[in-house]
Amino acid sequence: MHVLRKLFVVELKLLLREPAAWLLVLMLPLALVTMFGLTASPRTNTNPIVTYFPAMALSLGVAQLALTLLPGALATYRENGILRRMASTPVHPSRLLGAQLAVSLLMALTALAMVLVVGSFVLGFPLPKEPLGFALAFLLGTGALFAVGLCVAAVAPSGRVASGIGAGVFFLLIIFGGVFMPAEVTPKFMTTIGSYLPIGASMQAMRASWAGEWPDTLPLVAMAGLIVVFGAVAARTFRWE
């Protein structure tokens, strides 16, 4: 645990030295929720569609983190031989992987806090009326996206390739996950497809909890299944060198 904590601190410092990376992850959801908050008048707008905007902002920010930043960093470590050298020391590279995941989770939680605080207290978006359901939806959605990102990191030979693959997966998921349009105006078949994808399922579950309802079983089970399946694939295929 002491080694993991030290690796976490080192990874966090390295990340903070690259503001172009972490600022995008944090500022993208904040910019989106601010833009829509200024145009949708959430303080007086009672239309349920209002919950779409903060959920979409959060989903895009976490997806950007999980599918581009995380796999790019891990693939770069493999490309530079860092993971191979660590494998010959008492500090197994799996601990570096754990530290990277912990830093990424901290980033995701920071983005969540920023969106909730600014969205609610500054712009007037309502806070989730079902907080436990919202927390479950956010954690499952984040875990599912991290699992997919680890699969990208497992097969990519370099940081550039990982970022390219991650960007492609990112755009596919937001296209078919119902991110571009709220469910109210999205074709039914697209909503159904989105229920099985990490971004779409996360958005559906978060929107339900924002409205005061417990999320439907389907998106929750889908996200849990994605964590198990992609986590297992990443574990079996991940190469240290």
Residue 69 CA to residue 63 CA, distance in Å, equals 9
pLDDT in tens, 207-216: 999 988 999 9
Higher pLDDT residue, 8 or 31? 31
User: Tokens 């605080």 map to which residue?
Assistant: 117
* Chain segment 116-159, per-residue pLDDT in tens: 999 888 888 888 999 999 999 999 999 999 999 988 888 888 88
Residue 118: both structure tokens together: 């600014």
Cβ proximity of 206 and 141 under 8 Å: yes
A 10 A CB-CB count for 126 gives: 16
pLDDT at 1: 63
Report the alpha-carbon distance of residue 160 to residue 81 in Å, rounded. 15
Residue 68 is encoded by which pair of tokens?
Answer: 């581009």
Q: How far apart are the C-alpha atoms of 99 and 103, rounded to whole Å?
A: 6
Burial string for 224-241 (b: 16+ CB within 10 Å, else e) reads eebbeebbebbeeebebe
Number of domains in the chain: 1
More confident residue, 90 or 29: 29
The residue type at 213: E
**pLDDT above 90 (res 234):** no
* Dihedral, CA of residue 232, residue 236, residue 238 and residue 241, to nearest 10: 170
| Domain ranges, residue 32 | 2-237
Residues 189, 27: Cα–Cα separation, whole Å: 32
Task: Please tell me what DSSP assigns to residue 68.
Answer: I
H-type alpha helices, 65-130:
70-79, 82-87, 93-117
Which two three-digit tokens encode residue 241? Answer: 């060198």
pLDDT band at 228 (very low <50, low <70, confident <90, very high): very high
